[in-house]
Amino acid sequence: MPKPIVAVVGRPNVGKSTLFNRIVGARVAIVEDLPGITRDRLYQEAEWAGRNFILVDTGGLDFKDKDEIVSHVRRQAEIAIAEADLILFVVDARSGLVGTDEEVAEVLRRSEKPVLLIANKVENFSLENNPLYLEFYKLGLGEPIPISAAEGRNTGDMLDQMIELLPPDKEDDYDPDVIKIAVIGRPNVGKSSLVNSVLGQERVIVSDIPGTTRDAIDTPFVSANKHYVLIDTAGIRRKSRIHLATEKYSILRSLKAIDRADVALIVLNAEEGVTDQDKRIAGYAHEKGKASVIIVNKWDLIQKDEHTMDKYIKGIRDELSFITYAPVLFTSALTKKRVHRVLELVNYVSEQHAMRIATSDLNNLIREAVLYNPPPAPKGKRLKIYYATQKGVKPPFFILFVNDPELMHFSYLRYLENQLRSSYGLEGTPVQFKMRRRDKEG
What is the three-class DSSP state of 250? helix
- Looking at residue 357, what is its pLDDT? 97
Strands 432-437 and 291-297: unpaired
Alpha-carbon span 10 to 95, nearest angstrom: 14
What is the model's pLDDT at position 2? Answer: 62
**pLDDT, tens digit only, all 442 positions of the chain:** 567 889 898 888 898 889 998 998 855 444 433 333 333 446 777 889 888 888 888 776 665 555 444 454 556 567 667 778 899 999 998 888 988 889 888 888 888 889 999 999 987 776 556 667 778 889 999 989 999 999 999 999 999 999 999 987 766 667 888 999 999 888 778 888 888 888 875 444 444 544 444 445 577 888 888 888 888 665 444 444 444 444 444 456 667 778 889 999 999 999 998 988 888 889 889 999 999 999 999 999 999 888 999 999 999 999 999 999 999 999 998 899 999 999 999 999 999 999 999 999 999 999 999 999 999 887 788 899 999 999 999 999 999 999 999 999 999 999 999 999 999 999 999 999 999 998 654 4
Domain segments of the chain as ranges: 5-165, 179-353, 359-437
Cα–chain center distance at 27: 18
Beta strands at 86-92 and 115-120: parallel, antiparallel or unpaired: parallel
Tell me what pLDDT residue 44 has: 77
Give the homologous superfamily in CATH for domain 359-437. Answer: K homology (KH) domain (3.30.300.20)
Side by side, the strands of the sheet bearing 5-9 are 42-48, 51-57, 5-9, 86-92, 115-120, 145-146
Return the CATH fold of 5-165.
Rossmann fold (3.40.50)
**Dihedral through CA 205, CA 209, CA 211, CA 217, nearest 10?**
10
User: Residue 327's pLDDT is what?
Assistant: 97
Which residues are within 8 A (CB) of 272 and not within 5 positions of it... i.e. 6 or more apart? none
CATH of 179-353, one of 3.40.50.720, 3.40.50.300, 1.20.1440.20, 3.30.470.20: 3.40.50.300
At 62 the pLDDT is 64
* Strand (E) or helix (H) holding 434: strand 432-437
pLDDT the model gives residue 54: 83
Asked if the domains at 5-165 and 179-353 fall in one CATH topology, the answer is: yes
Which residue from 125, 163, 131 is spatially nearest to 147, judged by alpha carbons? 125
Query: What is the predicted pLDDT for the residue at 251?
Result: 56
For the chain, give me the number of helices (H) and strands (E)? 12, 15
Residue 10, judged by CB atoms within 10 A of its CB (0-12, 13-18, 19+), counts as buried
pLDDT at 204: 46
How many whole angstroms separate alpha carbon 111 and alpha carbon 373? 62
Query: What is residue 239's predicted lDDT score, i.e. its pLDDT?
Result: 46
